[in-house]
Structure 1
Amino acid sequence: MKTVAALLVLCLALCLAPTARAEGQFRVLVVAVPNRYHHDYAVVAQPRFEQMARRHGFDLDWAWNTAHFDGDLSPYHAIVLLNTPGDELAPAQRGALERYVRAGGGVVAVHRALIFNPPGDWPWFEKLVGRAFRIHPVVQTATVRVEDPGFPATFALPRRWIWSDEWYEFGPPLVEGLRTVLSVDETSYDPTRIWPGQVAHGMGDAHPVAWYHAYDGGRVFATALGHPPAAYDDATYLQHLYGGIWWAATGRGVIAPAD
């Protein structure tokens, strides 16, 4: 009798699962394509993102490749390019992403997603990211400064945050309207500490590492943070990501500065 009852409970749970999943407040696609320098992070990140979805009540699809871009992207309120750059997309898939954004979709570009090779091959994507990557020194600990405390990706962060990462350097903005969310204090690390044969000088006082903007009908949040696999086990970093995802998916949460 107990076995029958247990089977009935299991069947009921299976029947209700699709309904429960459909009740999420929004739906997010995370694309995590392994690459030469970024692969170990994904096995840490996936369970943490799934936990994030359960905690905050949104629907999550996880992808190890770009096949979703061959189908219908319209059900997604945001697409997270997790260490997945635009050069992973085939030409037809690039067109699908452009149509998705123009229809009002949100994009979250994380770390390696901010680098496009070869530069100039897909200007639309480079403008979506907002800045062109130049180089980065070796991983170091540095001080991150909150530049926009009214943006959700900063709500869980202290005004000064000690973090270890690859401190990407960028060229000037490729579009107007970029809003810097976080910057790194170059006096707190050595921007010139790099591999033999390469040269980095830093960006000076203004060195953004996270920003957001409206672009071509959609919303884009970009963060250069996220190289070490251990980052995806860090609660503060995950709150940083979720704040950006929430805004990209809904457009909500931004606190306007007081007059």
Structure 2
Amino acid sequence: MRTLLRTTLLLPVLLLGIAQAIAGPPERMLVFTHTAGFRHESIPTAVATLQTLATDERMVADHSEDPGAFTAANLARYRVVVFASTTGDVLDANQQAALEGFIGHGGGFVGVHAAADTEYGWPWYGQLVGAWFKAHPPGLQDTQVQPERDGRAHGTPWPIRDELYNYRDNPRGRVQVVATVDERRYEGGSMGADHPITWCHRFGGGRSWYTGLGHDEAVYGNPQFLAQLRQGVRYAAGRAPTC
């Protein structure tokens, strides 16, 4: 009887171990935050948020400041690479080639905020992100984020207070716009009535998702932003058909 009881208690543990072995190791995400220009104070919060999000998605998120992580062999370990407020020229030619190869083999990319203020001399990267940063109004300002689906407003706008990027051009037509911001509610917007702030697209064999939000540390406590970021990671990882 005692043996039977012990076997009954151990059976769920054994079954869980078998299921995990069949499923294989968890997918991994590389969160890269190297900066060669302005450095955002919110980077530690962005990293912690992405690591928590990864855990919730049963992924593992590694954080690195080292451009040397960008080799073909190392990137092959990952499903998604995140550039979280990187700035300036952060990769050399060989490292750039490794990222291009990663995307070419179906990898996913997520860009947060200043990822658009990165690698201006690398045209491929500009296409991957979707648009480069041009300028921003001074300080933090309040506006509304309008979610979008299939080129039309979809759902209820939600408030945001953040540093609001203007881009060198409007990426609509090259990407699928996920959300816009309302320039009528703040000063210094230069893109007019159509101001994309979050978007995604299939690119070069992989998937790319970008948001211009994420300058201010408090944004990472905004539930709508967190839901948007989660969907972006899921899209980049190939876990969601749409972004």
Q: Distance in 1 between matches of 2:126 and 2:102?
A: 16
Partner Cα distance (1:48, 1:134) in 2:
26
Distance 2:227 2:64 in 1: 21
- How far has the Cα of 1:178 moved from its partner? 0.7
Structure number with the bigger relative contact order (C-alpha 8 A, sep ≥ 6) is 1
Q: Give TM-score, length-normalised by structure 2.
A: 0.80
Structure 1 stretches of 5 or more lacking a match?
1-15, 192-200
* Compared CA separation, residues 45 and 129, structure 1 to 2 (3 A): closer
Matches of 1:210 and 1:49, distance apart in 2: 17
Provide the alpha-carbon RMSD of the alignment: 2.8
Inter-CA distance 141–132: structure 2 relative to 1 (3 Å threshold) = same
**Equivalent residue, structure 2, for 1:232:** 220
> 2:170·2:191 contact (CA, 8 Å) conserved in 1?
no
Q: Distance in 2 between matches of 1:34 and 1:133?
A: 15
Mapped pair 1:61 → 2:54: no
Aligned partner of 2:89 among 81, 87, 106: 87
Task: Tell me how far apart the structure 1 counterparts of residues 43 and 190 of structure 2 sit (CA, whole Å).
Answer: 29
Query: How far off is 1:167 after superposition?
Result: 1.3
Q: What amino acid is the match of 1:183?
A: T
Matched residue SS, 2:242: coil
Q: Residue 106 of structure 2 aligns with which residue? A: 104
Supply the distance in 2 between the matched residues of 1:189 and 1:246 (Cα, whole angstroms).
31
Corresponding letter in the other structure for 1:65 = D
Distance in 1 (CA, whole Å) between partners of 2:24 and 2:88 is 29
Give 1:89 shift.
Answer: 0.9
Where does residue 41 of structure 1 map in the other structure?
Answer: 42
Amino acid paired to 2:125: F
Taking the aligned partners of 1:145 and 1:180, their CA distance within structure 2 comes to: 10
CA–CA distance in structure 2, aligned partners of residues 166 and 112 of structure 1: 11
The DSSP-based 3-state class of the residue aligned with 1:114 is helix
Structure 2 counterpart of 1:82, one-letter code: A
Contact 1:44 1:233 in 2 (8 A): no
Shift of 1:226: 0.5
**Partner of 1:206: helix, strand, or coil?**
coil
CA positional deviation for 1:75: 1.9
Amino acid at match of 2:102: Y
TM-score, normalised relative to structure 1: 0.76
CA shift at 1:86, angstroms?
A: 6.6
Change (3 A) 1:174 1:40: closer
CA contact (8 A) 2:144 2:181 kept: yes
Cα gap change, 1:61/1:87 in structure 2, threshold over 3 Å: closer, same or farther?
Answer: same
**Distance in 2, Cα, partners of 1:237 & 1:103:** 29
1:160 aligns with 2:157: yes
Query: Which of 168, 171, 176 is residue 171 of structure 1 equivalent to?
Result: 168
Residue-by-residue CA offset, 1:149-178 (whole Å, 9 max, x unaligned) = 89xxx9xx9621100112111233569541
CA distance in 2, matches of 1:86, 1:40: 16
Q: Per the alignment, do residues 149 and 86 of structure 1 end up closer, same or farther by CA in structure 2, a change over 3 Å counting?
A: farther
Query: Which residue of structure 2 aligns with residue 31 of structure 1?
Result: 32
* 2: CA distance, partners of 1:95 / 1:160: 39
Q: Which runs of 5+ in 2 are unaligned?
A: 1-16
Instruction: Give the corresponding residue for 1:211.
Output: 199
Letter of the 1:160 partner, please give it: P
Report whether the alignment pairs 1:142 with 2:115: no
Equivalent pairs counted in the alignment come to: 221
Distance 1:207 1:216, change over 3 A: same
Match for 1:30: what amino acid?
A: V
Counterpart of 1:7 in structure 2 is none
